[in-house]
Amino acid sequence: MRISVEQRLRRPRWLTVAVPFGSVVFAFLVAAVVLVVTGHDPVSTYRQLFDAAFLEKQSIDQTLIVATPLAFMGLAAAAAFRMKLYNIGAEGQMYLGAITGAAAGLYFGGRGGPAPFPIAAMVVAGMLGGLAWALIPGILRAFFRTNEILTSLLLNYVAGLLLTYLIFESESYWRQTKGFNATVFPTGKPLPPNAVWPGWTLHVQGGTTIPLGAFFGVGAAVVLWILYRLTRFGFEARVLGDSPRAARYAGVRMRRKILAVMAVSGAIAGLGGASQVGDFSHALDGDPNGLQKIGYGYTGIVVAALGRYNPFAVVLIAFLLGGLENAGNALQGPSFPAGLVGVIQGIILFSALGGEILSRHRIRITRKTTHDTAAPARAPEPAA
């Protein structure tokens, strides 16, 4: 018997939906095996997981808190990965966006004035912060051909150290220095009320607040879709991703495009950082066991790859994986296995990757007949 993999001439449409869906189902099945082997009951564990993610009172409210940053991180990764620029620094770019966004909120909020102005300043500052941090690997890649995967990743560690430094190791502008608590445990200075981002509360599940950042996330998805689908810039970026040589012959300016794509990616991640501060923490979170431990930027890569870099799919998957992640956080404790959510995410991504071959190739199982075995098994292929 021989298993051969051959390329499909046409990719059936249903497979583009079936592969991600099947990946998720497969991942849960494999993770169930892991659970059984390590002595947990998969049925009750999964029920706990889904209840905490989507069904319990206020669970969607909590899920949105995770899904919002994940959507930003997923979009940031998708924007770069689509051009085969592997920016895995969304994590650090988010920290920088949080730092600059918080600075703008503290400064402009403190000067009074109506709410839209400090919030707008935070959005702009956050985007600029993320953009600037993303341009470091961008410039190194464009002008020195330095591997952007490594530089962007290593800069995440530097950004994390910077974040911790601003709150824990210095008397910076971001740190709360007044009051009793400040002397006990270092924290970030809280945003003035007019710099706190408003949410839109729905009366479902006992009150579900849709944060302002979630709307910005959907807006970013729309902008990204238009940018990549309907503009010359997006077309050139896609060509450059699929075939750099073709792009060069067509006169696409490589360096400029790398810088622009990194800037877009970093700006989205930075906006995610500003939303972290404005929507949720309302102060810069420098705790090494806080924002930095969650690793939204890395999960964002899973989100982007599962959504096949399509902005709208990314937003949808951010919501679903956000639920999973939220449940993982909520259930953390002796009765619920830690790290399970990362395991499930990893398997989902593996199976989505493996599933890619199903949509691009056809797998054929042919039984060797006596006639076949007589022929040389490894006959050289005719030269193409």
Q: Which residue, 23, 3, 69, is CA-closest to 292? A: 69
CA-to-CA distance for 260 and 172, rounded, in angstroms? 32
The residue from 305, 314, 321, 330 that contacts another protein (CB under 8 A) is 305
Residue 80 lies near another protein (rule: CB under 8 A): no
Quick one: which of 16, 44, 58, 170 contacts another protein (CB under 8 A)? 170
User: Cα(265)–Cα(133) distance, rounded to whole angstroms?
Assistant: 10
Which of residues 155, 237, 264, 271 is near another protein by CB under 8 A? 155
Q: How many CA atoms lie within 13 A of 82 on its CB side?
A: 30
When binding is defined by CB under 8 A, the residue of 353, 359, 367, 379 that contacts another protein is 353
Shortest distance (Å) from residue 356 CB to another protein? 6
- At a CB cut-off of 8 Å and minimum separation 6, what does 254 contact? 142, 240, 244, 247, 248
Residue 370 class from Cβ within 10 Å (0-12 exposed, 13-18 middle, 19+ buried)? exposed
Nearer to another protein among residue 56 and residue 356 (C-beta):
356
CA distance 71 to 78: 10
Task: Print burial letters for 262-298: b (CB count within 10 Å at least 16), e (below 16).
Answer: bbbbbbbbbbbbbbbbbbbbbbbbbbeeebbebebbb
Is residue 347 a contact point for another protein (CB under 8 A)? yes
CB of 166 to another protein, least distance (A): 9
Is residue 286 part of the contact set for another protein (CB under 8 A)? no
Please identify which residue in the block is written with the tokens 């889904």. Answer: 50
Instruction: Give the Cα separation of 186 and 98 in Å (integer).
Output: 17
Residue 339 in the binding site for another protein (CB under 8 A): yes
Binds another protein (CB under 8 A): choice among 165, 200, 204, 312: 165
Among 96, 277, 314, 340, binds another protein (CB under 8 A): 340
State the minimum distance, in angstroms, from the CB of residue 86 to another protein.
5
Inter-helix orientation angle 59-81/90-110, to 10°: 120
Q: Among residues 17, 36, 43, 338, which is the contact residue for another protein, using CB under 8 A?
A: 338
Taking CB under 8 A as the rule, does residue 375 contact another protein? no
Q: Which residues of the chain form contacts with another protein (CB under 8 A)?
A: 6, 34, 38, 81, 86, 88, 140, 143-147, 149-151, 153-155, 157-158, 161-162, 165, 169-170, 295, 298-299, 301-302, 305, 337-343, 345-347, 349-350, 353-354, 356-357, 380-381, 384
